[in-house]
C-alpha cells in the first residue's frame, strides 16, 4: 500500500522571524461586581446546569433566576472565563416576568467556567451569580501522548482570533460531488475540538474569505507534486494571529475516495488552525496516511491525544485576540 504524505507548506513571512511571545495579552479587569453591596438595591442571581458533565456537541442548558426588585425583563448575560482569567459575554437575554432565564451552553472541548450577570436596572445594581463549571468530554482517541503536538511556527503558538467567525469558501471546480458536504462536516467537527466558529460563505472562486479550499493539480500548486495529497498555506501576523489559510487538495489523487479525503481534510484543516506535523504515528497530525480501508476509516473520525491537546491550545480556551 502506498504511503500518502500529507504535508503543509508554510507561508514565507517575516512573522517567522518574530518568535517573541506574541500571545502575551494584557490582563483586562474582571467584569462584574460580584454580589451587590446594598440590601436596598440587592438582586441575587442563581444558576444551575442541567448536567455538570456532557460529551462535546450535546445540548446542556444553564437555568436560573434573578430575585428581588426589577427581576422581570432584566438583561442577563452568560459569561465565560478564559485561561487568562478574563470574563467575556457569550450571549445576552431578558428574564421572564418571574425572573427566570435559560441559556444554551458552549458545546466544545473544555471545562467551561460559566456565570450569569444581571445588568444594573434603575437603582438596582449589577448582580453576578456564582461560577458553575461544565466539563465537556470527548470520544476515545487513538492514544499517544497529549504532548504530541507542534505549533505551526517555531517559538510561538499562532492561532485565529476565536472571538470572530472565520469565513470559509470552497471552490467546487473539478471537485467530487460530496466535497462541500464533507467539508462542512469537517469544519463542524473542528469547532467541537477548538471552540473556533466557522462561517461557510459558499462555493465559487476565491474572494476575501479567511480560509479557501480548492482542488488543484501539481501543475498549478507545485507543492502537491509526488506523493503529497494535500497542502495548506497559512498567513500569520507578527503578533501570532493566523489570518489566512489556503487548502489545496490534489486532483491526481481524486480516485482515493470519500473516506480517504475526509481524513485528509481533517488533517489539512488542523494545519489551517495552527498545528504542524508530529513524529508520533498515533496522531492525525502524523504526516502520512496509509491508504487502506481500516486506516482511512480510523483517520476519518478519530484524533490522537496530542491532536486533541493541540486543537484545544490553538482554539478558544485562551480567549480573544485583540
Closest to Zn ion by CB, 8 vs 129, is 8
In the bound state with Zn ion, the residue whose beta carbon lies nearer, of 209 and 232, is 232
Find the shortest distance in angstroms from Cβ 275 to Zn ion: 9
Q: Select the span of 4-12, 68-76, 137-145, 299-307 touching Zn ion (CB under 5 A).
A: 4-12
Backbone phi, then psi, for 211, in 5-degree steps? Answer: -120, 135
Stretch that binds Zn ion, among 2-10, 92-100, 174-182, 305-313 (CB under 5 A): 2-10
CA distance linking residue 235 with residue 241, whole number of Å: 9
Minimum Å gap between C-beta 264 and Zn ion is 9
β-bridge pairing 100-104 and 61-67: antiparallel
Burial (CB < 10 A; 0-12, 13-18, 19+), residue 72, is middle
CA distance 320 to 49: 25
The three grid cell numbers given for residue 33, joined into one nine-digit string:
461586581
CB of 249 to Zn ion, least distance (A): 12
Decide whether 121 or 314 has the Cβ nearer to Zn ion. 314
Chain positions 83 to 142 lying near Zn ion, rule: CB under 5 A, are none
CB nearer to Zn ion: pick between 7 and 71: 7
Is 283 an interacting residue with respect to Zn ion (CB under 5 A)? no
| Min separation Cβ 268 and Zn ion, Å | 7
Question: Should residue 229 be labelled a site residue for Zn ion when binding is judged by CB under 5 A?
Answer: no
**Segment interacting with Zn ion (CB under 5 A) among 6-14, 192-200, 206-214, 309-317:** 6-14
CA–CA gap between residue 51 and residue 135 (Å, rounded): 9
Instruction: Say if strands 211-216 and 242-250 run parallel, antiparallel, or are unpaired.
Output: parallel
If the CB atoms of residues 56 and 245 are measured against Zn ion, the closer one turns out to be 245
Rank residues 278 and 309 by Cβ distance to Zn ion and give the closer one: 278
Q: Are strands 242-250 and 230-236 parallel, antiparallel or unpaired?
A: antiparallel
Least separation in angstroms between CB 316 and Zn ion: 23
The span of 8-16, 17-25, 220-228, 293-301 binding Zn ion (CB under 5 A) equals 8-16
66 versus 242: smaller Cβ distance to Zn ion: 242
Site string for Zn ion, 140-169 (x = CB under 5 A): ------------------------------
DSSP state of 20: S
Q: How far is the CB of 279 from Zn ion (least distance, A)?
A: 13
DSSP tag of 52 = S
By CB under 5 A, the count of residues binding Zn ion is: 3
Q: How far is the CB of 245 from Zn ion (least distance, A)?
A: 12
Residue 6 interacts with Zn ion (CB under 5 A): yes or no: yes
Joined together, the cell numbers standing for residue 208 give 476575501
Beta strands in the chain (DSSP E): 3-5, 44-49, 53-55, 61-67, 75-81, 87-94, 100-104, 111-118, 127-128, 132-137, 150-151, 166-170, 198-203, 211-216, 230-236, 242-250, 275-276, 288-290
3-state secondary structure of 66: strand
The per-residue DSSP string of 107-136 comes to -SSSEEEEEEEEPPBTTBPPEEPPPEEEEE
C-alpha–C-alpha distance, residues 110 and 57, integer Å: 11
The nearest distance, CB 27 to Zn ion, in angstroms, is: 35
Q: Does 8 bind Zn ion (CB under 5 A)?
A: yes
Are 291 and 29 within 8 A, CB to CB? no
Least distance in angstroms from the C-beta of 128 to Zn ion: 45
Interface with Zn ion (CB under 5 A): 6-8
Amino acid at each position: 500500500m502506498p504511503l500518502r504524505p500529507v504535508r503543509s507548506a508554510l507561508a514565507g513571512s517575516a512573522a517567522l522571524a518574530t518568535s517573541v511571545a506574541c500571545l502575551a495579552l494584557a490582563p483586562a479587569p474582571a467584569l462584574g461586581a460580584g454580589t451587590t453591596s446594598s440590601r436596598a438595591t440587592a438582586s441575587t442571581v442563581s444558576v444551575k446546569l442541567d448536567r455538570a458533565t456532557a460529551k462535546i456537541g450535546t445540548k446542556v442548558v444553564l437555568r436560573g433566576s434573578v430575585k428581588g426588585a426589577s427581576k422581570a425583563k432584566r438583561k442577563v448575560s452568560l459569561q465565560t472565563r478564559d485561561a487568562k482569567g478574563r470574563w467575556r459575554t457569550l450571549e445576552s437575554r431578558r428574564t421572564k416576568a418571574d425572573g427566570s432565564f435559560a441559556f444554551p451552553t458552549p458545546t466544545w472541548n473544555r471545562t467551561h467556567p460559566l456565570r450569569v450577570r444581571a445588568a444594573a436596572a434603575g437603582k438596582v445594581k449589577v448582580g453576578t451569580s456564582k461560577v458553575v463549571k461544565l466539563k465537556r468530554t470527548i470520544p476515545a482517541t487513538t492514544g499517544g501522548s497529549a504532548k504530541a503536538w507542534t505549533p505551526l511556527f517555531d517559538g510561538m503558538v499562532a492561532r485565529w482570533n476565536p472571538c470572530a467567525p472565520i469565513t470559509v469558501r470552497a471552490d467546487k471546480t473539478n471537485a467530487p460531488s460530496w466535497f462541500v458536504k464533507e467539508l462542512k462536516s469537517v469544519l463542524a467537527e473542528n469547532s467541537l475540538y477548538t471552540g473556533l466558529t466557522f462561517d461557510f460563505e459558499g462555493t465559487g472562486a476565491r474572494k476575501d474569505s479567511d480560509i479557501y479550499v480548492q482542488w488543484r493539480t501539481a501543475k498549478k500548486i507545485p507543492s502537491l507534486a509526488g506523493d503529497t495529497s494535500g497542502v495548506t498555506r497559512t498567513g500569520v501576523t507578527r503578533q501570532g494571529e493566523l489570518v489566512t489559510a489556503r487548502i489545496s487538495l490534489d486532483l491526481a489523487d481524486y480516485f482515493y475516495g470519500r473516506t480517504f479525503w475526509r481524513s485528509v481534510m481533517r488533517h489539512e484543516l488542523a494545519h489551517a488552525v495552527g498545528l504542524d506535523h508530529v513524529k508520533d504515528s498515533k496522531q492525525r497530525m502524523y504526516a502520512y496516511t496509509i491508504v487502506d480501508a481500516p486506516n482511512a476509516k480510523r483517520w476519518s473520525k478519530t484524533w490522537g491525544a496530542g491532536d486533541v491537546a493541540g486543537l484545544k491550545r490553538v482554539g478558544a480556551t485562551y480567549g480573544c485576540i485583540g
